[in-house]
Structure 1
């Protein structure tokens, strides 16, 4: 573990205004990461989302797959803050990194998002809080920051979603709110 890669609580707080300034709608898909096996990451320029398996080729569907946790989305600005470099974003373990406000007020459970021209996903109520791997990769202050009351309201650790309509998604695709069920 390299402590120089981890921010302290004051540094994390100082970065919050930039995270909060993410678009409320019409954000961009900044990164796609497939997890073919535990602790393996593949950064993709495009991927196929499927209602049956989530992100095709991802290990989500292996074992005890919870349909409410088919995909994870993380605010790209929050990923940049805790990871400190784009190359380290995949270590968070999420599949889609979006420049979009993913807080509870903006994207409550049941909200549907169009990603690009084909895919539609729905935000689920299943919480996404992180794990010991997140602490090892980004530090305990980062875990405490994303799980603070403000961090939870903004879903800084990310949100879970399920695929409603499959399709190809690409880095640079627009992410648009289309409805709340």
Structure 2
């Protein structure tokens, strides 16, 4: 992967802001079956208890998070496919961002405040949680300093360019190409 510069990213801000607000598309589905493993999927099941079935999100939660139920606040992570496409050329490289669902939809705090619901495909419904999703050390190592600073900048945080955390409130099968609708 070629690391992008701050100038490259800033020049694409209008493109990022132009993501559809009401109806978009699920572009990529990724399962994380184990530490540092990624599987790009043609189909996945979202479940109220298990999140994305076969993903290791629950095994990574701390005991305290599970005891208090906070682990549910990061059951599924969703990232802007527009943003990740600026960072990586292939689906396998994009999957390294570490999220499960990559969507072409406006994920901004204004459009999808905490508690908002998003339908994915015919049946699945996610609820946006308050838990922040920021660029971390792994994101920095994979995509570089400029990308991490950009997604963590005030504009990046407002637009949720690093993505958002959600919980599954209604399960269902999801596939790339499915509609993603703000409810």
TM-score, reference length from structure 2: 0.92
Contact preservation (8 Å) 2:40, 2:92: no
Compute the displacement of 1:86 (Å).
3.8
Counterpart selection for 1:113 from 102, 108, 118 = 118
RMSD after superposition:
1.1
Counterpart selection for 1:90 from 79, 90, 95 = 95
Contact preservation (8 Å) 1:12, 1:82: no
TM-score, reference length from structure 1: 0.93
CA distance in structure 2 between the aligned counterparts of 1:72 and 1:161, rounded to whole angstroms: 6
Contact preservation (8 Å) 2:27, 2:176: yes
Segments of structure 1 that go 5 or more residues without pairing to the other structure are none
Segments of structure 2 that go 5 or more residues without pairing to the other structure are none
CA distance in structure 1 between the aligned counterparts of 2:80 and 2:120, rounded to whole angstroms: 14
CA distance in structure 2 between the aligned counterparts of 1:63 and 1:158, rounded to whole angstroms: 19
Counterpart selection for 1:164 from 151, 166, 169 = 169
Contact preservation (8 Å) 2:28, 2:91: no
CA distance in structure 1 between the aligned counterparts of 2:93 and 2:87, rounded to whole angstroms: 9
Partner of 1:30: 27
Compute the displacement of 1:140 (Å).
0.7
